[in-house]
Structure 1
Amino acid sequence: MTATLTRPATRRRQAGVLVLACLVLLVDGYDLFALGTIGPSLLHDRSWGASPSTLGTLGSVTALGMPFGSVLAGWAADRRGRRLPMTVAAAWISLSMLGAALASDLVQLGAARFCTGIGIGALAPLVSALVADTAPAGRRTLHLAVALGSIGVGGTASALLGRILLPGSPFQTLFWIGVLPVVLIPLIWRMVPSGALRPSAQVPVAAQAAELFTRTTARGTVLLWIATFMSMALVYSTTAWLPTVMMKNGYNLGSSLEFLTAFTIGASLGGLLVALLADRGHLKAVTAGTFALAAVALLALSSNQPRPVLLVVSALAGLGSLGCQNMIIACMSAFYRPHLRGTALGVGLGVGRLGAIVGPSYVSAATALVVSPRAGFVAFMIPAVLGAAVVTLLPRTLAPAPE
C-alpha cells in the first residue's frame, strides 16, 4: 500500500525545509571532516602517542557507527515520521562531539567518534528522505544537491577553522565547536512533519525490508548498494586522509588545508551544476561522470603542477568525490516510492557505510605498504573507477518501480 503526503508542500514550506536540511547537513559535514582537519595536529602532539595508522583506525571507528545510525533512522522515518528520529539524531551528534572534546586518550576519542558516526549515519537518510518528500516536481535532484552540498560547506568550515586555529590551539577546539548544533533541535521539532507516510505499524519490519527485493527492484537495489559502497569508500578515505597524503607529497599543513578547502568548495558549488543537468533526465550519466571525474582529478592531484592549477584540480576532485555520493542518494530517492524511501535510503546508506569503514583503513594500509608518496592518490582512485562502472549497469531511466 502506498501513501502520499497528506497535504501538498507549499513553496514556503519547501524553502523552509530546504534551509533546515542545509543547516542539519552542514553539521553532518563539519563533524565528518573534523577528523581529517585535526589529523596532522593529532600526529604532531606526542602526548597522544598517535601514528599515521591511528588516523585510519579513528576513521574506521567513526564509520563503524554509521550503518547502525543509517538503518535505524531510515526504518524509524518510514514508520514514525521524520521529526522524532531527526531530533534524536541532532541531539546525539552534539553530545558525541562533546565527548570527543572531553576525551583524554585515544580510547575515549575512538569511543566518541564511534558515537559521532551513529549520528552522522542517521542524518543523511533522514534529511534526504525529508527533502525528497517535499521537493517540487522536476527539482528533486537539485533540492537534494543543495541540501547535500551543505556537507561540503560544513567540511569547508572545518578546514577554514583548522587553518585559523591550528596548530596554535588544541585540536579539541574543533570538537567543542561541533557541540553548538544542539540549538537546531527546536527548529527541527517545529518544522519537520511528525506523521508517517504509511500505516506502517501494521507492516512487519521483515516485510518492509523485503520490498527492496521485489521483481522490479532487486537488481537496482543490489547495484545501488554496490555503488553506494564505492562512493562511501571514496568519500571517507579522502576526508580522513587527504591533508595527510598531501603532506606526504611535500605540502605543508597550511597548503594541505587550503587544498581541502578547495576540495569542499568544489563539491558544494559544482554539485549544483551537475544536479541541474541530472534533473534534465541525465541522472545516471551524471552519476557515472562524477565517479570518473574524481578518478581523473585525484590522479592529477598527485603530480607536480602550479599551485593555482592544483587548487582547481582539488575543487574538481571534491566535485567528483562528494558529488558521486550526492548523486547516488538522488538515484535512490528517484528509484523508490515515497512510503519506502526512508527505509531504502537508510538500508542502502547503511550498506554503503561499510565502504566508509573500509576506506580509511584501506588507504592507511596502501600508504604504509607502498613506498611511493603517490600511493594514497592511487588508492583513492580505485573505488572511483569501480563506482563509475557499476553505475553504467543501472536502469536507463531511474523512476519509482511500478506496484
Structure 2
Amino acid sequence: MPLRILYINYGSQSGVTAAVLERLRRAGHEVQVFDPVDGFLYKRRLGPVQIPNLRPGPVLATAAAMARFRRHWKPWYVHTTVAFDLLTARCERAVAAAAPDVVLQAGVLFAPVRDPLRRPHPPYYLYCDHTRALNERYDPVPGLDPPIPFEGGWRRRETEVYRGAAALFVMSEHVRRSLAADYGVSPDRVHVIGAGANVAPAGPPPAGPREQALLFVGRHFAAKGGPETLAAFEAVRARHPRAELWMVGGRQPERSPAGVRLLGPRPPAEVGALYARASAFVLPTLREAFGLSFLEAMSYGLPCVGTRIEAIPEIVADGATGLLVPPRDPAALAAAMLRLLDDPARARAMGEAGRWRAAERFGWDRAVRLLLQVIERGVAGRAPLAGSAPDAAAAAAPIDGRQGLG
C-alpha cells in the first residue's frame, strides 16, 4: 500500500537524502520533504552575496550558540537547546500541514513533534549515522573543532526523540551500541541497515593493471587525515619513485611534495574516473560518522587503507578487503600503503573481495528495502496515532542525568 511519507532532513547529508528519496519514490510512496534548517542559518543569501539572517529565530540561535560554544559557535550553531526547540517547532508545523501516514527523520538535531513521549503524533522513524554522545567522546585534535561538550538539556531532548520513535534505523552496529549504552534504547528497536555508495560504476570495474596511484577522497582535509597521508607518502615515494598520490577534496594545502596531485573538489563523474584508475584507496580519517567513501572505493574494486575507528571496521575487513591502522600514525599508514604497492596481486585480490563485500552487505537499494519492510509492518499493525514510546519500559526509564545516557 502506498504511504504518504514526510521526510525530514537537513541538507544533502553527503548524498544520503537524494539516495533515500529516489528509492522511496521508486517503491511507489508519496514523499514530501521538509528541511527545518533551510532559512534558519545565521546567514542568508541575497542575490550573489550572503548577509546576516536577522529573523528572530536565527538571532536567538546565534546568541545561544555564542554563549554556549564561544569561538567555536559556528560549527555547533544548531547544537543548542534553543536551536533544537526552534527547529522542532518548525517540524511540528510541517507535520501538521502534511498529515502524513509516517514521518521519516534523518538524525536528531530536532524532534518531529514536541514531547514525543507524551503527546499524540503520527508514527515517526529515525535514520541515523551517529549520535551526539559519540561526538562528545572524540579526542581533541589540533586544528580540528573540539568535541561537542555534554549538555544535560540536549541529552534529555535527544533521548526522548529516540525513545519516542516507532523504530530506529542506523548505518552501523557502532551507532546501535551507542543508542543502547548512552540513551537506554532497547537494541531490539534498532535496525542496522547500512548505507550505499553515492559514486559507483555502472558495471564491473575495468580489468587489467591500474596506475601506480593511491587515491584520497575527503571533503575536510585535516579531519580526514590529509596531513598524515602526506607524511606517510614520503616513505612510499622513497621505495616507489614513480608512485603518485591523488588527493580530492577541499581545504587542501597550497603546495604539495613530489608525486602528490592536489586536485581539489571534483564532480562525481571525475571522482569515479579516479576510482577506476587508482590502485588503492587511502583515508586515515580521524573522525567519521560512517564512511561512504570506503563503499565507493570498494565498489570500484579498490583495496582500502583506513583507520580503526568508529564504523570503519564494519566496512573494511582488515586483512581481507584492506588494511586498518591506528589514527594519527604516519609510520603505520606508510607500512600499509607499501604492503599494497609492493604486492599488486594481493592488492587486486583484496579489491575484488571488497567489491563483493560492498555488493552483498551494503547498497542503497538494500538499505531502503530493509527500512520499508519495518515501516510497512509497523503501519499495518498499529493505530494511526501514537501517544507514547512503543517501548513502554524505555518510556518509563529515567532520562535525567548521565545514568544510561553516557
TM-score, length basis structure 2: 0.29
TM-score, length basis structure 1: 0.29
Whichever of the two has the greater Rg, that structure is: 2
Q: Which has the higher contact order (CA 8 A, sep 6+)?
A: 1
Larger strand share, 1 or 2: 2
